[in-house]
Amino acid sequence: MLSSKYLACLVCSITLNLLFIINIYVGDQWKLSWSTRAALEAEKIAAIYCSGHGRAYLDGLVVADGNQPVCSCNTCFTGPDCSRFIPRCAADANSGSPLFLEPFWMQHLASSALVVPGWHQMGYTYDDLTFVSKELEKLVRRLHSTVGNAVTKNRFVIFGAGSTQVLSAAVFALSNENASSPARVVSSVPYYVIDKDQTQYYSSAKFEFEGDAYTWRNRSDASSTDMIEFVTSPNNPDGQLKEAILHGPNVKTIYDRAYYWPHFTPIPAPADEDVMVFTLSKLTGHAGTRLGWAVIKDETVFNRMMLHMKLNSMGISKDAQLRAFRLLKAVLEEGTGIFDFAYRTMKSRWERLVRTVSSSDRFSLPENNPQYCTFYNKVRQLSPAYAWLKCEREEDKDCYAVLKEANIIGRRGNLFGAEDRYVRLSLIRAEDDFDLLIERLKEFISKENGAKTFEE
């Protein structure tokens, strides 16, 4: 009898232990059904080893005979696991792909993962028959109020395919349909290249691009002409908190606030302009999602922009909105986490850049006047997304070519309406790109300085 009791006890105990083990190691996962296959596939692909210089994507390239994607390598890296550096590869500081935020998301996998059932949101519109997700809108408002960078109370919010589509919608919405002459669209030099290219591309009887806002400041016809001014603030390319040049009843202003986040600039006060444009790209780093928004005071302007979204693309991708929803939820969950990470990264990159550039007098960077930041409650400097580098030598009229010689790809000053003595260097790309940029700059400068060596 004793032995059988003992046996029963033992069996019970082992069973219980096993159940606990299941619970600890398996947790709630046994409850999953339809999402399991996709989750397993996604985790398997995400785990493919790419040496820290790349990553494998679900929709990444599949090579011949394979049925699993291969590593997508960062610029200048190659090989099946991205471990091989391509010799003499140029440092890419051209595009503004904000990969500097990728490590943040690698550190917040659980809160940022998204699971979408096949039947999710198939119709054109949401419940309320609009193209705008109300829940995403709520998150956007909450975020602005948490950060204190924009007033959204009693304002309309509209989404679009990146700030690119939103900016275009704003120009159309602010142009007078039945004007005798087209509205003149201007921006003060240096300006964001897309503002010019896009406005020229769509120019019509409604509006035309007219170049530098400064040239219109003292013109006698400026007050009798419909004007639209783009104000990118902080500015792309030079990172300064730009202000409007033109004022008056005939002037409408579109504030591109893409970079008005604490990682790029001190936030002196919440922005409160008539039309303010933001983008997920420079907030969470998800440029590829194409999700921008505008905060708008006037209902007519809002309605006209809505009409633009309808005629341009029959609304905004619900998948882009859903992704943004998931990411902004994760951002809000982490408190100031993403801003701390991003600011730390940008600050450290700027310190490295300034140290490198200041070791030579061949190049210079814009002034960086500290300001009070209401988000961090302290006086701090700018840490812009781009460096607006100037070649100081008289003969270096083509700064792009000078950098090309140093095996660095920047973006020419004249694309921003400025002299070619300037080049824009993107500082928000992947760590690999930034490291290479600094390395190449150092090599170039140390060659200049002859034997003189320096430490970064």
Q: Which of 105, 191, 255, 341 binds a second copy (CB under 8 A)?
A: 105
- Contacting range for a second copy; rule: CB under 8 A; set: 17-25, 217-225, 346-354, 368-376: 17-25
Q: Which is nearer to a second copy, 75 or 359 (CB)?
A: 75
Q: Quick check: 364 and 390 in contact, CB under 8 A?
A: yes
384 makes contact with a second copy (CB under 8 A): no
Cα dihedral value 58, 59, 64, 67, nearest 10: 40
Give the span between the Cα atoms of 295 and 277, in whole angstroms.
7
Q: Which is nearer to a second copy, 15 or 369 (CB)?
A: 15
- Contacting range for a second copy; rule: CB under 8 A; set: 117-125, 254-262, 360-368, 384-392: 117-125
Which residue do the tokens 């007050």 mark?
223
Number of residues that bind a second copy (CB under 8 A): 111
H or E element in which residue 15 lies:
helix 2-26
x/- letters, 33..52, toward a second copy (CB under 8 A) = xxxxxxxxxxx--x------
Q: Which is nearer to a second copy, 125 or 181 (CB)?
A: 125
In DSSP terms, 232 is beta-bridged to: 256
Residues 317-376 that bind a second copy (CB under 8 A): 317-323, 325-327, 330
Q: Which is nearer to a second copy, 42 or 189 (CB)?
A: 42
Give the span between the Cα atoms of 224 and 212, in whole angstroms.
18
Residues 226-245 that bind a second copy (CB under 8 A): none
- Contacting range for a second copy; rule: CB under 8 A; set: 69-77, 78-86, 242-250, 293-301: 69-77
Q: Quick check: 228 and 252 in contact, CB under 8 A?
A: yes
Q: Which is nearer to a second copy, 296 or 320 (CB)?
A: 320
Q: Quick check: 242 and 258 in contact, CB under 8 A?
A: no
Give the span between the Cα atoms of 177 and 216, in whole angstroms.
22
Q: Which of 72, 83, 336, 446 binds a second copy (CB under 8 A)?
A: 72
Q: Which of 29, 68, 223, 369 binds a second copy (CB under 8 A)?
A: 29
Q: Which of 136, 306, 353, 403 binds a second copy (CB under 8 A)?
A: 136
Three-state DSSP class for residue 91: strand
Listed in sequence order, the residues at least 6 apart from 111 whose beta carbon sits closer than 8 Å to its beta carbon are 329, 330, 333, 334
106 makes contact with a second copy (CB under 8 A): yes
Give the span between the Cα atoms of 131 and 291, in whole angstroms.
13
Residues 149-178 that bind a second copy (CB under 8 A): 160-162, 164-165, 168, 172
Residues 278-307 that bind a second copy (CB under 8 A): 285-291
- Contacting range for a second copy; rule: CB under 8 A; set: 22-30, 78-86, 246-254, 401-409: 22-30
Q: Which of 145, 148, 202, 272 binds a second copy (CB under 8 A)?
A: 202
H or E element in which residue 348 lies:
helix 337-357
What is the DSSP code string of 369-424?
Answer: --EEETTTTEEE----SEEEEEE-STT---HHHHHHHTTEE-EEGGGGTS-TTEEE
Q: Which is nearer to a second copy, 218 or 300 (CB)?
A: 300
